[in-house]
Structure 1
Amino acid sequence: MSETDEVPTPEPKVLLLVDGSSYLYRAFHAMPDLRAVPGDPTSPATGAIRGMINMMQKLRKDVRADYAACVFDAPGATFRDEIYPEYKATRSPMPDDLRAQIPPIHEVVQLLGWKVLNVPGVEADDVIGTLACLATRAGVRTIISSGDKDLSQLVNEHVVVIDTMNDKRRDIAGVEAEFGIPPRLMVDYQSLVGDSVDNVPGVDKVGPKTAVKLLQEWGSLDNLIANADKVKGAVGENLRRALEWLPKGRALLTIRTDCDLKDHIPGIPDLQDIVIGGQEVEKLKEFYERYGFKGLARQLDEHAVSPELLEEHRKEQRQKERAARLPTGGLFEEPDLSGLSQATTLHYDTIFTWEQFTPWLERIESAALVALDTETDSLDEIKSGIVGLSFSTEPGLACYIPLAHNYQGAPDQLPRDEVLQRLKPWLENPQRHKLGQHVKFDRHAFANHGIEVQGYVHDTMLQSYVLEVHKPHGLASLAERHLGRSGIDYETIAGKGAHQIPFNQVPVDKAAEYSCEDSDQTLDVHLALFPKLEKDSKLRFIYDLEIQCSEVLYRVERNGVLIDARALAQQSTELGQRMMQLEREAHELAGQPFNLGSPKQIGEILFTKQGLPVVKKTASGAPSTDEEVLEKLAEDYPLPARILEHRSLSKLKGTYTDTLPQMVHPRSGRVHTHYAQAVAVTGRLSSNDPNLQNIPIRTAEGRRIREAFIAAPGSRIASADYSQIELRIMAHISEDEALLRAFRESMDVHRATASEVFGVAPDQVSNEQRRYAKVINFGLIYGMSAFGLARNLGIETAAAKNYIDRYFQRYPGVKQYMDETRLSAKSRGYVETVFGRRLYLPEINSPNGPRRGSAERQAINAPMQGTAADLIKMSMIEVQKVLEREQRRTKMIMQVHDELVFEVPEDEVEWARGEIPRIMAAVAELRVPLLAEFGVGANWEEAH
C-alpha cells in the first residue's frame, strides 16, 4: 500500500433489536390455529410459535448484525402504572392460547441464537431505548424491528426502525415523510394526540393533522404550552384544559434510555454479552419435533449432511417416485408417499426455443401426472390472458415457457398461439392426468384461448379444504405448513399496491423462478396431502365431490347471467329519488342537515342532541349506530327508521343497481360471478365480483333487483330450490320420530311443530302460532338460546324457555342429538356432515365462555348446513351430467344457497320442470324424502 492509498473505513457494527412483544401478536394473528397434535383442538396451540420462528429466521437472513436481542414485556406493573393507575386499563387481556405459547417462544428464540430479554418492571420499549442509546455511545448502529410507531421517537442518524411486515423503513426521512414531523418531535406529537391503545389521553379533538400543524407553528410542545393562550378557537380551549395533564402524558409516552440492565446483561455497557450466536441444532431439532414442526426438523437434518450425499439420496427418491406413480385405473391414484420430502436440489428450465420445447413436451406427454400453472395478465378469470406456463413432472424439476412478456428489453419468446396449439392435444386429453392449485382459474385462462382442458384429477387447494377446512389454503401456506418450504412472494417480483406491475412486465428470469416454484410446490404438496385422503374413504368421497363440483362451477361461471341494464338504471333513478326524500325527512326530524352516511354525525344527532337511549357501545366506548341499534331505536323513534331505510337503499344502489351494469363482460354481454369453493367452513359456496347470493329478498326493492336477471330471447329463467332442507336434515340426523313422521306424511312441519308445542290440533293452529313455531324450528337449528328466541319473538325470556322446553318434550330425539353432538365435538374437535365432510371447531374447548358457546352452537348447526352444501353440490354435478349426456341447451347460470337457477329454452321448459326436481330429490337417500320446488318465469324474481 502506498502512502497515497486511502485506508478503507471499516463498516460500523450493527445491533439488531427485535420488539418481541410486537412480534408475538403479529405471529399469533397471522398464523392459523396450529396445534402440537394437528386437528386436535385440545392439544397446545403452536401457531404463534411457528410464526415467531418464521419471522426471526427471515429477519436474520435479511439483516446483517453483529449483536442482537429479542426484547419482550415482562409481566407485572411498571413505573408508568405508578404515575397513572389507568395506564393500559382498557387493553383486552392476552388470549389464553397466546399466553401459553410465550415460554416456548422464549426458548426457541434463544435456541435460534438470540439473546432474550424481559426485564421486570420495565417495558420492552424502554429496554430497546436503553440498548440503542448504549450502542450509539459505542459507535454501533442500531436497527429496531417493530411495527410499533411509538419507537419512532428513538430514530436518529444512528438508529433506524424497520417494519418488515409493512415494508416500512423509519429513518429520519421516513419518519418525517410518514408523520410530517422529525423524530425529535415524536414524543410531543404523541402527547398531543394521545395513545388510545395504552389509554393515555391527549388533547381533546386534536388528531394527527392538528398536532402536526401546532408543532410546525410553535416548534415544540414546551413552546406550545408556553403560548397556549395565543392558540385560538376550540383547539385553544381544549389545549388550555389539558395543560395540567400534558406533562404527565409526555412522561408516560417517553421511552426511557437509562434503564439498569446489569442483572440481565452483566457486561453492560460492553455489548459482547449480546453477540449474535449460532443455532443450537440438536436442541432445536428436539424442540421442533416436540411441537410438531416436522418440516423444520427435516430441514435441520438436511443441513447436517453433505450436499453430495443429499443429492444422491434425492436422486434415489425421485427414481422411486417415478416408478411408483403409475395409473391404476379409474380416477388417478397414487401410493402412500407421505414419507417422501421435497427435493432440495432444484432444476428449473426456461424455454425460449423449439429445441428446448420439444424434449419438455415429450416429458410432459409421458408423465403419469403433471402439475401445471398459468401466469396471466389479469385476476379476472373471464378476461385473463396467458403470459406464461409452468410444468413440473417430478419433485424439484420444472420448466417455464414465457409467452407474452412485453416489457422493454424482454427476450424473444415462442409465439403464444403456436405453443398453445402444440400443447392442445395433451391439454384436452382426459387420459393425461393433470394437477393444479385452484384449477378452476387455470381452466378459464385456457378457455380464453379456445382450449377446454380435460384431465384435471387433482387440486391441492381442494385437498387442503377437505382435510383442514379451518386453515388457509393458499399454496404458500400449504408449502410452509406441510413441507417446511418457503417460496417467492408475488409482491417480491411484481411490487405492491399502486406500484404493482402486471405479470407481463415482470422480468422473465424472475417470472420463471416464481412460476416453476409454484408448479414444483404444487406437486410436492400433493404428494404430502393426497395419501391422507386415500386413507379415509369418507374424506376421499368429499374430495371427489369437490373436484367434480369445480368442473361444474367452471361451466356456471362461463355461462354467466343476462341482466336488463335498462331496468336496473330505472331502479337506480327511483332509489336515488327515494333516498333524497328520506334525507330531507331525516334533516327535518333532526332539526339540522347532517351526513346520513357518517356514523359519527349520526351518533351526535341521536345521542347528544336528541338524547335517545344508548343501546350498546363500540370498542372505543362511543355509542354504536350499527344496524341492530338502529332497528331497536326505530321501533320507537322516526329518525332512526329513516336512517335505516336510507342505509338499506344506499347499499342496494351502490352494490347492485349502479354496479351490475358496469360488470357486464363486453365479449359475452353477461355478468360472470366467481364462486369461491374453498372459503366457507361448512362447505357452502360463496359468490363474489359480484355477490349474487346476498341480494336481499325481504324488501320489495330487493326483490325488484331479481327482476333484472333475465333470459335470452326464446328462453325462460327457471329456479329449482330445495324445500326446508335443513329441517329435513335435522329429522334425518336426529331420527326423532315425530319430526320424521311430519315429513314422511308431507305435513306442514311448522304447523305440526305448533300443534306439538301449543297442544292444539293441527287444524286449530293460528297463523301467529305457526309463525312462532317456524322461528323455533329454525332458531334451534342455529343453536338459538331462550334469550335469543325471546328477542326474536318479542316475548319474555321465561316464555321463550317454556316454548323450548315443550319443543324438546315433543321432539326428544332433537334434544338427544344436540346433547350428543356437543359432547362428540368436544372430544373430537370436529363434527361431520351426513356424507363425512369434517367441520372443525377450534374454540369448542376454549376457556373463553362466549367463544365456547358460539362453537357449541356451530357444532349443532354445522352438520345441517354442511350436509345441505353437500346435497346442492351433488345436485349440480348430477344435473350437469344429464344436460351434457342428453345434449340439452338448458344452462345452469347461478347457485344461490339451496337453489339452482337455469336459463331454459322454451322448448325444454316442460322437460326441465319434470327432470330437474326429480334429479335433485334423488341425489341421496335420507330417512325423509328430499323435495325440490321448481318455478319458471320471464325473470329470476318471477321464477322464484
Structure 2
Amino acid sequence: MPKLILIDGSSYLYRAFHALPPLSNAHGEPTGALFGVVNMLRATLKARPEYVAFVSDASGPTFRDAMYEHYKANRPPMPDDLRAQIEPMLAIVGALGFPILRIKGVEADDVIGTLALQAQQAGIEVEISTGDKDMAQLVGPGVTLVNTMTNTTMDREGVIEKFGVPPERIIDYLTLVGDTVDNVPGVPKCGPKTAAKWLAEYDSLDGVVAHADQVGGKIGESLRAALPQLPLSRALVTIKTDVTLEQGPTDLALREPDAAALRELYARYEFKAALKDLDAAADASLPSPPGRVIGGEGTTAPRAPVESSPKPLLQGEHGFDLAAPGAYELVTTQAQLDAWLEKLQDAPLIAFDTETTSIDPMQADIVGLSLAVEPGKACYVPLAHDYPGAPAQLPRDAVLAALKPVFEDVSRPKLGQHAKYDINILSHYGIAVQGVRHDTMLESYVWNATATRHDMDSLAKKYLGYDTVKYEEVAGKGAKQIPFSQVDLDTACRYAAEDADITLRLHHALWPQLESVPSLRSVYENIEIPLIPVLAGMEQRGVLIDVDELRRQSQQLGKRMLELQQQAYKEAGREFNLDSPKQLQAILFDELGLPARLKTPTGQPSTNEEALEAIADAHALPKLILDYRGLAKLRSTYTDKLAGTVNPRTGRVHTSYHQGAVATGRISSTDPNLQNIPVRTEEGRRIRQAFIAPPGWKVMAADYSQIELRIMAHLSGDEGLLKAFHEGGDVHRATAAEVFGLKPEEVTANQRRAAKAINFGLMYGMSAFGLARQLGIDRGEASDYMARYFARYPGVHAFMEATRTQAHRDGYVETIFGRRLYLENLQSRNQAHRAGAERAAVNAPMQGSAADIIKRAMIAVAAWLRNRDDAHMLMQVHDELVFEVRADTVDEVREAVQQRMQGAAELAVPLLVDVGVGANWDEAH
C-alpha cells in the first residue's frame, strides 16, 4: 500500500523546544527547537513515503474559540524564543520538499484528521507523526501514530494499552478527563483510571451519562454536576474530519529539496550534521547548465527555452523577448574594455553587478564585475580569478580607475538588483557610486511586497518565465564548493553577465507597471531609491562597541549566575545541574512536591518558562531558575557574542539593513540584528552601555513618540483623539478621562492602563477577549470599555469600518504616502481567515505609514549631514535613529535632526521626537 505520513508540525516544534536546551547560533538566534525539528524531519525522509505533509497551526482563532470563549485560556503566551523559530522552521521544511499545510479557522489536528480519513478511504496507509494524545481517536485500520522522540508506534492495541480504552472511545475518555492545557472542562476529580473504568462498565459516554445517578460518592456528585457541560467538552475534543482542503492525500508528493536554500539555512543556524549529510548526498559531478556558454570573444551558445516556465505576468515593452537567451562577452583585453567604456558613455541606463569573495559586503573583496546596457547583451570583466592556468586578466586597479568616473557620475543613470551590496563593495576601492536610479529588488517590493521573494532568481522566474543559472551550478556545493575566484572564466562569465542582463530585463518588465500607478512610483522614487545610499552609508560606518565593557558584563552575569546557583542549591537542599530539565523536574515535582501545572508533549511535568512562572508563587526555587535562565540567555546571546561580530578591518560592528524584507515597509536588520537589543530588564538595558562613541564624541538617540497612535488620529480624523494630541498632555490619561467620564486628574493608574491597552490594542485588532486577558478583567467589562471608547471616539470606529470596506473592494490598503499593502484572505469564505485579514487591514496603514515616515526622515537627515564630518547616522531601530555626534556640535545636530524628523510628514497632529545624548546608547535612549 502507498503510505501517507502526516507530521503534526506544532507538536514537533513544542516537543523539540521543551526537550532540548536553549541553543543559539553565533548571531544569537534561538535554534534549539529548529535543531530538533530538522533531525526529526531528516529521519522522516529516510522512510521515503509516497505522500507526506507537514501540518501546522495557522495564526488566529479557530472554530473552537467561537464555541467556547475560554478555550485554551490558561495557556501562557508562546515564548519569544519559540516564536522566533517558527518562520525559520517553515523555511527549512519547505526547502526539504515537504508540502506545508496551515489552514486558518481550524487546528492542525483537524487537517490531519481530514487527510487521514480521506487516505484511509482511498486505500492509503497513514502514519501520523505526533505526541498529541488527542490523535489516538484517529487510530484505526491502516492508521497508526508514531512518536519520533520515543521511537514508538501506536496501533489499536497500543491505544488500549496506553489509555485503557479503544480508539473509538478516546473522544469519550477525553471528555470525561478534560484537558487542563487546552482548558477543556471534564468531570472534576475524574482521572484517566476512573474514566477508563466508567467506559468499560457503561460502554460509552452516553452510557455513563445515562447511569450517572448510579455512581456514588463525591465523584458521583462531580459527575452529575458536570453533566450540562459534557456535550461542549465532547465537541471541543473531537477532531474534525471534514475540513475543506484544496489538496487531497495524493496531491502531497514530496518535492525535490532545494539544496541551495537548505545549505544557506543549515549554515546560518549552524546545523553541521545536516550540512554534512547534504554534502554527502550531493552529486560530485557538476553538470554543465544549459545555455550561454561564453567564449572570450563574445561568442554564444543559445539556451533552450524552458517549457515548464509559467507565462510571465509582466511583459517587456521594448521589442525584446524578455525570456530569450542572451549573448555575453568575456572582457579580458584593453580593446574590449575600451569598447564597453564607449557603450557606457551614451547608455540610457547601466545595469551593474559585482562578484565577490563573501556575502558580507564589509569583508568581501571584488572578484569581477558585469555590465549591461541593452537587454540580452552583457559583459563580465574578471579581476581576480586565481585558479591554476587562469588566462591573463586586466589589472584590477586599472579597470576600477577607468570605471570610477562612470560610477561616480550622478548624471549617468544606473540600475542594480539589491544595489546597496554592490555600492558597499565598490566603496572599498574608493568608488562612491552615485546616480542609482533603479533597483529591481525594490521595483518588485514596491509593486507587490507579498507576491514573491525579491531575489533575482525568484523575480526572473515570476516576471520573465526565465530560469537563471544558480551559483551551485558554477561553483559546486557544500564542502566541494570553490570560491568564485577559482571558477573558470567562461563559466564565470555565463553566470555573472547573466546577472546584469537579467537585472536589466526585469527593469523593463517592472518599471512600466510602477509608472502606471503614480502613488507607487512616488513611493519608489521618493522613498525607497533615495534610501539606498543612506543605508549603505550607515552600514559602512558601523557602530563602535566597547568590547571590554561586554567582557565585564559577561563576568558580572557569570558571577550573578553563580550566586543564583548557590541559592538554588540551598532551596533545593542539594546540588544539581540547573541546566538539566530532568534533574530540575525531579527536584521540583518529586522532591519538593510542587504542582505540575503544565506538561510536556510526552506527558512529563514541564520545566519551561511558562511552567516555572505558573508555580513561582509556591516556592522560591522556580523564580531562581527563571532569573538564572534569563541571565544565561543574555550572556550567550549578547555579551559573549557581540564582541565576535566586530569587523577586524574597521574595529566596528556592521549590520545589514534590509529594505525588501517586511511587507509593511519596515527596515529589518541582520548579522547582527541591532534592532533586537533587549530593553525589558536592567541587565538587558545595560548591554546598550557597550554601544559607545569615540573620544570627543557623543551618542545621540532620536525617537518618535507614539507615532502609530498619532497616525491613527490623522487617518481617522477623530476630533477627540486630535484634541488629546494637540493639547500635548498624557494622551492615555486623556483617553481614560473620556472613556470613564472623569476629569484627567481623577483618572486612576488602572484606568490609564486600560485606556493605553485600548489605544494600542485597537491598532492591532485586539478583541474584547484579548483586552480582558491583558487587563485581567472579565470579558463583559472589557466589552464595556471598548464600547465607551468608540462612543467617545466615533471617528476611530468609522475609520476602521471604512478601511475594512476599502480593503475588501481593492484587495489592499495604503499608507499615507501611497504604499500598497496587499492582504490575503479578504475574500475567504472562512470567517476566521477574513477576520484576520481585516485586522491586518486596519493595522497595516499605521505600521506602513510609520515605516515611510522614518525612511523619509532618514533621507532628510542624511541630506543635511552629507557635507558634514561632525555627525554620522549609525542605526535605525524601529522608530528610533541613533547617531554619533562630535561633542562640540551636539546642540546644533540635535536641533537639526529633531526638526527634520518632525517634518518628515504633515499630519493633523504634531509629530514629536524625543532626543537624548550620552556617552553610550543606554544613556542616550
TM-score bracket for the superposition, by shorter chain length: 0.5 to 0.7
Q: Distance in 2 between matches of 1:426 and 1:832?
A: 38
Q: 1:339 to 1:824 in 2, by over 3 A?
A: farther
Is 2:434 the counterpart of 1:417? no
Q: Distance in 1 between matches of 2:920 and 2:447?
A: 40
Aligned-partner SS, 1:294:
coil
Is 2:546 the counterpart of 1:529? no
Letter of the 2:426 counterpart: F
Is 2:470 the counterpart of 1:489? yes
Q: Distance in 2 between matches of 1:594 and 1:467?
A: 57
Q: Distance in 2 between matches of 1:352 and 1:698?
A: 57
Is 2:564 the counterpart of 1:582? yes
Aligned-partner SS, 2:557:
helix
Q: 1:463 to 1:165 in 2, by over 3 A?
A: closer
What is the 5 A alignment of 1:343-358? 344-358=324-338
**Equivalent residue for 1:437?**
417
Offset at residue 796 of structure 1 (A):
2.4
Q: 1:802 to 1:433 in 2, by over 3 A?
A: same
What is the 5 A alignment of 1:648-797? 648-797=630-779
Contact kept? 2:351, 2:501, Cα under 8 Å: yes
Letter of the 2:655 counterpart: T
2:246 aligns with one of 81, 96, 100: 100
Q: Distance in 2 between matches of 1:124 and 1:715?
A: 60
**Equivalent residue for 1:540?**
521
Contact kept? 2:764, 2:840, Cα under 8 Å: yes
Q: 1:502 to 1:124 in 2, by over 3 A?
A: closer
Offset at residue 583 of structure 1 (A):
3.5
Q: Distance in 2 between matches of 1:515 and 1:595?
A: 54
Q: 1:883 to 1:826 in 2, by over 3 A?
A: same
Aligned-partner SS, 2:857:
helix
Contact kept? 2:385, 2:489, Cα under 8 Å: yes
Offset at residue 77 of structure 1 (A):
4.7
| Higher RCO, Cα 8 Å, sep 6+ | 2
Count of aligned pairs: 686
**Equivalent residue for 2:440?**
460
**Equivalent residue for 1:87?**
143
Aligned-partner SS, 2:353:
strand
Contact kept? 2:323, 2:466, Cα under 8 Å: no
2:870 aligns with one of 889, 902, 914: 889
Is 2:355 the counterpart of 1:369? no
2:544 aligns with one of 549, 556, 562: 562
Q: Distance in 1 between matches of 2:139 and 2:737?
A: 66
**Equivalent residue for 2:375?**
395
Q: Cα RMSD (Å) of the superposition?
A: 4.0
What is the 5 A alignment of 1:635-646? 636-646=618-628
Q: Distance in 2 between matches of 1:499 and 1:707?
A: 43
Deviations 1:752-811 (A, max 9, x none): 011112221001122332223222211222222222222222222322222222212211
What is the 5 A alignment of 1:68-147? 76-78=121-123, 80=125, 84-85=140-141, 87=143, 99-100=245-246
Deviations 1:436-461 (A, max 9, x none): 11111000100011111111111111
Deviations 1:368-400 (A, max 9, x none): 111111000011111111001011111111111
Letter of the 2:143 counterpart: Y
Offset at residue 146 of structure 1 (A):
6.3
**Equivalent residue for 1:294?**
311
Offset at residue 858 of structure 1 (A):
2.0
1:814 aligns with one of 788, 791, 796: 796
Is 2:457 the counterpart of 1:476? yes
Offset at residue 638 of structure 1 (A):
3.7
Q: 1:823 to 1:774 in 2, by over 3 A?
A: same
Q: Which runs of 5 or more residues in structure 1 are unaligned?
A: 1-17, 30-50, 56-72, 104-117, 126-144, 149-161, 168-176, 180-283, 299-335
Deviations 1:885-908 (A, max 9, x none): 5x3521111111111111111221
Q: Percent identity?
A: 51
Q: 1:812 to 1:446 in 2, by over 3 A?
A: same
Which moved further from structure 2: 378-387 or 610-619?
610-619
**Equivalent residue for 2:850?**
868
Aligned-partner SS, 2:143:
coil
Q: 1:737 to 1:389 in 2, by over 3 A?
A: same
Larger-gyration structure (1/2): 1
Q: 1:783 to 1:404 in 2, by over 3 A?
A: same
Contact kept? 1:753, 1:773, Cα under 8 Å: yes
1:378 aligns with one of 325, 338, 358: 358
Q: Distance in 1 between matches of 2:486 and 2:242?
A: 44
What is the 5 A alignment of 1:30-49? none
Q: Distance in 1 between matches of 2:314 and 2:894?
A: 59
Q: Distance in 1 between matches of 2:815 and 2:893?
A: 29
Q: Distance in 1 between matches of 2:899 and 2:252?
A: 67
Offset at residue 849 of structure 1 (A):
5.4
Offset at residue 412 of structure 1 (A):
2.0
2:431 aligns with one of 443, 451, 468: 451
Q: 1:643 to 1:493 in 2, by over 3 A?
A: farther
Aligned-partner SS, 2:492:
helix
Q: Distance in 2 between matches of 1:590 and 1:492?
A: 58
Offset at residue 584 of structure 1 (A):
4.0
Q: 1:147 to 1:828 in 2, by over 3 A?
A: same
Contact kept? 1:875, 1:923, Cα under 8 Å: yes
Is 2:894 the counterpart of 1:910? no
Q: Distance in 2 between matches of 1:433 and 1:94?
A: 59
Q: Distance in 2 between matches of 1:94 and 1:412?
A: 68
Letter of the 1:803 counterpart: Y
Offset at residue 520 of structure 1 (A):
1.1
Offset at residue 552 of structure 1 (A):
0.6
Aligned-partner SS, 1:936:
strand
Contact kept? 1:147, 1:165, Cα under 8 Å: no
Q: Distance in 2 between matches of 1:404 and 1:680?
A: 36
What is the 5 A alignment of 1:797-876? 797-846=779-828, 851-876=833-858
Offset at residue 847 of structure 1 (A):
5.0
Q: 1:808 to 1:86 in 2, by over 3 A?
A: farther
Aligned-partner SS, 2:875:
strand
Q: Distance in 1 between matches of 2:394 and 2:697?
A: 44
- The TM-score, its normalising length taken from structure 2, stands at 0.68
Contact kept? 2:260, 2:472, Cα under 8 Å: no
Deviations 1:490-519 (A, max 9, x none): 122223334433222222222211111111
Q: 1:864 to 1:620 in 2, by over 3 A?
A: farther
Q: Distance in 2 between matches of 1:845 and 1:124?
A: 26
Contact kept? 1:726, 1:868, Cα under 8 Å: yes
Offset at residue 827 of structure 1 (A):
3.4
Q: 1:178 to 1:622 in 2, by over 3 A?
A: farther
Q: Distance in 1 between matches of 2:613 and 2:834?
A: 28
Deviations 1:866-886 (A, max 9, x none): 11110000000001111125x
Aligned-partner SS, 1:839:
strand
Contact kept? 2:514, 2:520, Cα under 8 Å: yes
Q: 1:530 to 1:604 in 2, by over 3 A?
A: farther
Offset at residue 727 of structure 1 (A):
0.8
Contact kept? 1:459, 1:547, Cα under 8 Å: yes
Contact kept? 1:146, 1:163, Cα under 8 Å: no
Q: Distance in 2 between matches of 1:420 and 1:631?
A: 61
Offset at residue 700 of structure 1 (A):
0.7
